[in-house]
Amino acid sequence: MLSKEEVKQIWKSISSGNDRKHYSSLLNLIREYNELLQKPELLETLEDEYRYMTIALGQIFIKLFGRGQLMPRLASNDNEKKFFEWCKKLYLNFKVKLLALISSISETNSLSLDCLDTYMKMLHHESIYWASKPNSPFFPNKTLRSLLVALFHCNLEGDIGFKDGQSGNPVFNLFVETYYKKNFDIQFYTQSELISLLPDLDGKVSDEVKMSKWLTLCNNDVQGSPELEIFVSVPPQAIENNAKFNSNMEANWLHCLNLRDLSAAQYKTVLLILHKRIIVWFHQPTKLIDFLTDSYNHGGIISILSLNGLFELMKKYNLEYPNFYSKLYQLLTPELMHVKYRSRFFRLLDNFLSSTHLSAQLVASFIKRLARLSVSAPPGAIVSIIPFVYNLIRKHPTCMILLHDPEYIDCDLSKKQEYADPFNNEEANPELTNALSSSLWELETLTNHYHPNVATLAKIFQQPFQKLSYNIEDFLDWSYDSLLQAETNRRLKIQPALEFEQFGSVFASESNSSFLPTVKW
């Protein structure tokens, strides 16, 4: 391994003059990378030396760019052309070594970050000096493609976020934060190259890793923004083609959404951003139906999150989804009452059940299922269910029979004592649950709930339905913590009456009075 002083000497000798006898040292510098690639453990002791060498080589080749020695077409004779071709070969070899370090080093280190920065400087100088003519528009997209291949192959253990499924790879994140998010030409050509690159990675990079890096790349609000900068000096006019950029984004999103082996966290992230950051790129948003259908059939929280995207397609693009309400009904489970996306689900459910064209039997099934869930739900969920059921009954007056059945009032006492709830809670089809023949006895039970707020709220069904509706937003985001906080901060109009006697100690004592005089300590 060459020392820093030796590297510095080579750097100075090549940069300060044009004496070609020093250029042979370049080959020795580049060869030093071979040992590191074969023995990654050298990073532990020689990371600073390799970093210094990387920066030095980058500066040397920038110097060669300025001298025109990496452009054989500028040579004035055959000997000079051969020399320029030799210099260019060294430069290309250096780029290969940088990419190898980026993609193959499996440990987190700053050398990989320096390799990326150096590589991007090389890309910038290629755009200047490898253009067909001085100041001509040019973007070295092949150089960018090679970098993207290396970045997608760069995998560190545990670099996929557990909560959001995005990549935690520091090298990839540096590329995204420093170059991709800030420069539109980088965005344009990255998306253009990914059109063919993403399919090429099938079988070479796992679906989960591919999606993690795609989400890191595109889960932001700066895609295609007119306020972005330009990385190269004179970009091609092609980057002004917004239709092409949108088309590339759509195709790349479709490819990633069709990946099969995604984590639950990635499904969640995609579904949470779909209506704001994904659907905007689609000329035909109905292309998302396959992904949303698969997500809706997935079950659990994934199904709940897919509702938002399905609702957008149904509302704006007249999408028809078979058995939609049956599957929506099946999402009403005890687990739903405890997830953090519960309020989102109730907002969507409110939209889905607002139509007056729905059958009374279907709406009654939803009301009855919600009432049944409220018996075992936490107080925060019950506070959401009670006004929600109230609003449904107001929108669908036929369901008032669940609260007030004239036929039941006229029944003999013996029949009332033999009453059994006819509602079939196990039936998956809401049209067949026999809910309209049932009653909301669960809401009567809630009037005796241990939490005073819940008990008071449940009593609204014992009063005349004079209120047109409740603003459901006022009740959706309650939890144990917020209910307790509200009770703690409540100002009492009348102070509670307290009578107490002050004691000097808890247990019996000769010196003063005590709270427990018969217990000696």
pLDDT tens digits along 411-464: 665 555 667 889 999 999 999 999 999 999 999 999 999 988 899 999 999 998
Helix (H) or strand (E) holding 123: helix 110-129
Residue type, 29: L
Task: Give the residue with greater pLDDT, 114 vs 33.
Answer: 114
Cα(359)–Cα(356) distance, integer angstroms: 8
Q: For position 512, what pLDDT does the model report? A: 60
Q: What is the pLDDT of residue 411?
A: 61
Strands 514-520 and 505-508: parallel
Flag whether pLDDT at 484 surpasses 70: yes
Q: Which two tokens stand for residue 385?
A: 């269910």
To the nearest whole number, what is the mean pLDDT of the chain? 89
- The secondary structure element, H or E, covering residue 519 is strand 514-520
- Per-residue pLDDT of 155-209, as tens digits, reads 876 678 778 899 989 999 999 999 999 999 999 999 999 999 999 999 999 999 9
pLDDT for 32 equals 84
The Cβ of residue 150 has, within 10 Å, a number of other Cβ atoms equal to: 24
Residue 220 lies in a domain: no
How far is it, in rounded angstroms, from Cα 331 to Cα 301?
A: 9
Return the top range by mean pLDDT from 222-231, 245-254, 475-484: 245-254
Number of domains in the chain: 2
% residues pLDDT > 90 (the chain): 59
- Percentage helix, strand, coil, to 5, in the chain? 65, 5, 30
Domain that includes residue 80, residue range: 1-130
Residue 271, pLDDT score: 93
The single residue listed with the structure tokens 């000079």 is: 80
Is 325 among the domain residues?
A: no
Q: What per-residue confidence (pLDDT) applies to 356?
A: 87
CA angle 115, 117, 122 (to 5 degrees): 90
Q: pLDDT at position 58, please?
A: 95
311 confidence band (pLDDT: 50, 70, 90): confident
User: What is each CA distance from 63 to 51, 68, 234, in whole angstroms?
Assistant: 19, 9, 20
Single-letter amino acid, residue 166:
Q
User: CA-to-CA distance for 502 and 326, rounded, in angstroms?
Assistant: 64
Burial group, residue 75, by CB count within 10 angstroms (0-12, 13-18, 19+): middle
Q: Which two tokens stand for residue 144?
A: 């960018």
Query: Mean pLDDT across the stretch 288-298?
Result: 89
Count of other CB atoms within 10 angstroms of residue 416: 10
Report the range of poorest mean pLDDT among 93-102, 379-388, 419-428, 495-504: 495-504
Question: Under a CB-based contact definition with an 8 Å cutoff, are residues 453 and 369 in contact?
Answer: no
Q: Which residue, 84, 115, 130, sits at the end of a domain?
A: 130
- Does 359 score more than 80 pLDDT? yes
pLDDT value of position 145: 98
Asked whether the beta carbons of 476 and 347 are under 8 A apart, the reply is yes
Query: Residue 338: what residue type?
Result: H
Instruction: Name the 3-class secondary structure at 358.
Output: coil
Question: In this structure, is residue 36 part of a structural domain?
Answer: yes
pLDDT recorded at residue 214: 97
From 130, 161, 184, the end of a domain falls on 130
Q: Is residue 515 scored above 90 in pLDDT?
A: no
pLDDT for position 514: 61
pLDDT of residue 501: 65
- pLDDT tens-place string over residues 237-284: 999 999 999 999 999 999 999 998 999 999 999 999 998 899 999 999
pLDDT tens digit sequence for 4-53: 888 889 899 888 877 788 888 888 888 888 887 888 788 778 888 889 99
The reported pLDDT for the residue numbered 409 is 60
Contact (CB, 8 A) for 332 and 368: no
- Asked if residue 41 is part of any domain, the answer here is yes
Q: Taking the mean position of all CA atoms in its chain, how far away is CA 290?
A: 20
Determine the pLDDT at residue 457. Answer: 94
User: Which helix H or strand E contains 171, and what residues bound it?
Assistant: helix 170-174
Beta bridge partners of 183: 229
436 within a domain of the structure (yes/no)? yes
Per-residue confidence (pLDDT) for residue 38, from 0 to 100: 82
In this structure, what DSSP letter does residue 497 have? P
CA quadruple 367, 369, 374, 380: dihedral positive or negative? Answer: negative
User: What DSSP letter does each residue of 395-462 carry, written as one string?
Assistant: H-GGGGGGT--HHHHTS-HHHHHT------TT-S-GGGS-GGGS--HHHHHHTT-SSHHHHHHHGGGG
In a domain, 137, yes or no: no
What is d(CA 463, CA 406) in angstroms, rounded to the nearest whole number? 17
User: Does a structural domain hold residue 503?
Assistant: no
Q: Residue 521's pLDDT is what?
A: 56
Q: How many CB atoms lie within 10 A of CB 419?
A: 11
CB-side neighbour CA atoms (13 Å) of 468: 1
Is pLDDT of 106 > 70? no
Q: 139 φ, ψ to 5°?
A: -130, 125
Q: How confident is the model at residue 406 (pLDDT cuts 50, 70, 90)?
A: confident
Kind and range of the H or E run holding 121 = helix 110-129
CATH number (domain holding residue 8): 1.20.58
The predicted structure's pLDDT at residue 499: 60
Q: Is residue 332 included in any domain, yes or no?
A: no
CA 161 remoteness from chain centre: 10
CB contact at 8 A, 111 and 37? no
> What letters, b where the CB count within 10 A reaches 16 and e where it falls short, cover 16-41?
eeeeeebbebbeebbebbeebeeeee
Tell me, what's the pLDDT at 361?
Answer: 96
pLDDT at 90 over 90: yes
What φ, ψ does residue 183 adopt, rounded to 5°?
-130, 120
pLDDT of residue 417: 62
Residue 502 confidence class, pLDDT cut points 50, 70, 90: low
**Residue 457: how many other CB atoms lie within 10 Å:** 23
The residue from 105, 130, 155 where one domain ends is 130
Question: Residue 404 to residues 253, 363, 408, 461, 465: CA-CA distances in angstroms?
Answer: 52, 16, 8, 10, 12
